[in-house]
Amino acid sequence: MRDYPQIVVPPPGPRALDVVRRDEAWTQNCYIKEYPLVVARGQGPMVEDVDGNRFLDFMAGIAVCSTGYSHPRVVAAIKDAADRFLHICGSDFYYESMAALCERLARSAPGESKKRVFLTNSGTEATEGAIKLARYATRRTAIIAFRGAFHGRSTGAVTLTSSKARQHAGFGPLLPDVHHVPFAYRYRCQWCADKGECTRGCIDVIENDLFARHLDPHDVAAIFVEPIQGEGGYVIPPAGWLRDLRALCDRYGILLVADEVQCGVGRTGRMWACEHEGVEPDILLTAKGLGSGMPIGAIVAKESVSTWETGSHGSTYGGNPVCCAAALATLDLVEGELMANAAAMGERLMAGLRRLQERHACIGDVRGVGLMIGVEFVKDRATREPAPELLRDLVLAAFRRGLLLLGAGKSTLRLAPPLVVDQYDVDTALTMLDGLLGELD
Ligand code: PLP
């Protein structure tokens, strides 16, 4: 038996409430704050709050804590780097960890072409830089992104985002010449078949509708795609869809930008999600799991695309030496053992969820690769009407019992635990979900 999950005071306890009240008095209203979890420390897949409650975490700080909380090897690398120097500015000067991380990412990205890397502080910044690079390299202006996509929240990146109208409201005018097309939402594709099953036909909408009626494909700089949609609901396109998209880009000289900010760094059981399809993007974006929680991201672009001139892009903090050290230690762990663990534990979790689907009619769809798994709730399996209230109630009830969950899309539970989870963690989460769904459904 482990010492988690363990609730000693119904959360939020008195100490947590103190923090919540202070936070609510002084922080901006735009923060979401899913539930009143007030973290004191974490270890592996366990998070302890300020009142001593211990939670099993199946959301990893939104798919970030890839190596679990405070992995000793990541912490040691951070301490060692911090002891030496905290900053010098990688845009202007050199240090070993920056060269090493860029080389490592360039070599690990899918495909044979030589790559070059730009380091950022976040996923949003990676998107923002990629928009600039794609326009610069192609001297074209139009960008295509997908409905349901999430690429970040700066003005350029949020224009590509199409996840919730609230993320655009009041901020316009946004970036011009950005066009949204349907994503291959297998369970709910309105463009492919009467039954709402995606059969890859929705990709034809880009050529037969957008290119035929609205937009010359030779004006398109790039198509930005999440190989697995994250915030949109952990949506996995059918096999062959990403390859079709690659072929479409090749027909018109359009750059394919794979946003692997959420699905990359071993989460799907491979280092990059594109590898499952054998697709080489022109530009690959990473962040989140790369630094195990330290703020670092990257634009990994083919050398042939990396045409921007000295001084045309830069960052004061991007590729900070402490973050580079965390990322290098993270990559060691992910390549060494965690990627394989994600594949094995993902299979166990998927099999368990499929059993739950047989027992609970509210589970409409279970989909996943590795430890990136979506469980979509419906009011009725025949109509597939989404059940957002059930999702909200489940997430809150799980928190009170000691299981940390998070939704995505309209009514999908996203399961994105740290890649260190073992059989105990997976089986505990499944048992808890089973019990909670039995009570709520
Ligand atoms: N791209 C994807 C696919 C994401 O999931 C996210 C964040 O959720 C981002 C970009 C933005 O990353 P960040 O929040 O680090 O700026």
Residue 118 CA to ligand 1 center (angstroms) comes to: 16
Mean of pLDDT values over 338-345: 98
Query: pLDDT band for position 352 (50/70/90)?
Result: very high
- φ, ψ of residue 228 to 5 degrees: the values are -130, 120
Among 334, 360, 383, identify where a domain stops: 334
Q: Are residues 323 and 355 in the same domain?
A: no
Name the closest-CA residue to atom 10, ligand 1: 151
Residue 345 has what pLDDT?
A: 98
With a cut of 90, say whether residue 441 has pLDDT above it: no
Cis ω on the peptide bond leading into residue 12 (within 30° of 0)? yes
Mean of pLDDT values over 274-288: 98
**Dihedral sign from CA coordinates of 385, 33, 394, 358:** positive
With a cut of 80, say whether residue 74 has pLDDT above it: yes
- Residue 213 inside a domain? The answer is yes
Residue 438 CA to ligand 1 center (angstroms) comes to: 33
Residue 230 CA to ligand 1 center (angstroms) comes to: 9
Among 305, 334, 363, identify where a domain stops: 334
Angle at Cα 150 formed by Cα 70 and Cα 45, nearest 5°? 20
- Residue 3 inside a domain? The answer is no
Domain count, the chain: 2
* Percent share of the chain, pLDDT over 90: 96
Residues 251, 261: Cα–Cα separation, whole Å: 26
Instruction: Give the DSSP H/E element, type plus range, for residue 223.
Output: strand 220-225
Q: Which domain holds residue 157?
A: 73-334
Q: Are residues 114 and 168 in the same domain?
A: yes
DSSP string, 372-410: EEEEEEEEETTTTEE-HHHHHHHHHHHHHHTEE-EEETT
Name residue 248's amino acid. Answer: L
Q: Are residues 312 and 434 in the same domain?
A: no
Residues 306, 256: Cα–Cα separation, whole Å: 14
Q: Are residues 270 and 354 in the same domain?
A: no
CATH code of residue 58: 3.90.1150.10
- Residue 8 inside a domain? The answer is no
Let me know if 107 is exposed, middle or buried by CB neighbors in 10 A (0-12, 13-18, 19+). Answer: exposed
Mutate to test the pocket of ligand 1, among 62, 66, 225, 262 (most ligand atoms within 8 A of CB): 262
Q: Are residues 296 and 341 in the same domain?
A: no
Q: Are residues 309 and 325 in the same domain?
A: yes
Query: pLDDT band for position 118 (50/70/90)?
Result: very high
Q: Are residues 48 and 99 in the same domain?
A: no
CATH code of residue 240: 3.40.640.10
Place of tokens 């409201």: 169
Q: Do residues 223 and 252 make contact, with C-beta atoms less than 8 angstroms apart?
A: no
Residues 20, 413: Cα–Cα separation, whole Å: 25
- Residue 2 inside a domain? The answer is no
Ligand 1 pocket, CB under 6 A: 62, 122-124, 127, 150-152, 226, 230-231, 259, 261-262, 287
Residue 262 CA to ligand 1 center (angstroms) comes to: 7
With a cut of 70, say whether residue 269 has pLDDT above it: yes
Beta 372-380 vs 385-386: how paired, if at all? antiparallel
- Residue 7 inside a domain? The answer is no
DSSP state of 174: -
pLDDT in tens, 372-403: 999 999 999 999 999 999 999 999 999 999 99
Atom of ligand 1 nearest to the CA of 260: 3
Q: SS3 breakdown of the chain: % helix, strand, coil, rounded to 5?
A: 40, 20, 40
* Percent share of the chain, pLDDT over 70: 99
Q: Are residues 183 and 280 in the same domain?
A: yes
Residue 51 CA to ligand 1 center (angstroms) comes to: 31
Name residue 128's amino acid. Answer: E
Residue 132 CA to ligand 1 center (angstroms) comes to: 17
Name the closest-CA residue to atom 14, ligand 1: 123
Place of tokens 């991201």: 297
With a cut of 90, say whether residue 62 has pLDDT above it: yes
pLDDT in tens, 189-224: 888 876 678 888 889 999 999 999 999 999 999 999
Residue 194 has what pLDDT?
A: 64
Residue 78 CA to ligand 1 center (angstroms) comes to: 23
- Residue 261 inside a domain? The answer is yes
Residue 10 CA to ligand 1 center (angstroms) comes to: 32
- φ, ψ of residue 414 to 5 degrees: the values are -100, 130
With a cut of 80, say whether residue 12 has pLDDT above it: yes
Residues 123, 142: Cα–Cα separation, whole Å: 21
Q: Are residues 205 and 353 in the same domain?
A: no
Residue 7 has what pLDDT?
A: 98
With a cut of 90, say whether residue 266 has pLDDT above it: yes
Residue 196 has what pLDDT?
A: 74
Name the closest-CA residue to atom 7, ligand 1: 152
The encoded tokens of residue 381 equal 């399996």
In this structure, how many other beta carbons lie within 10 angstroms of the beta carbon of residue 3?
8
With a cut of 70, say whether residue 185 has pLDDT above it: yes
Among 292, 312, 334, identify where a domain stops: 334
Mutate to test the pocket of ligand 1, among 288, 294, 317, 412 (most ligand atoms within 8 A of CB): 288
Q: Are residues 161 and 183 in the same domain?
A: yes
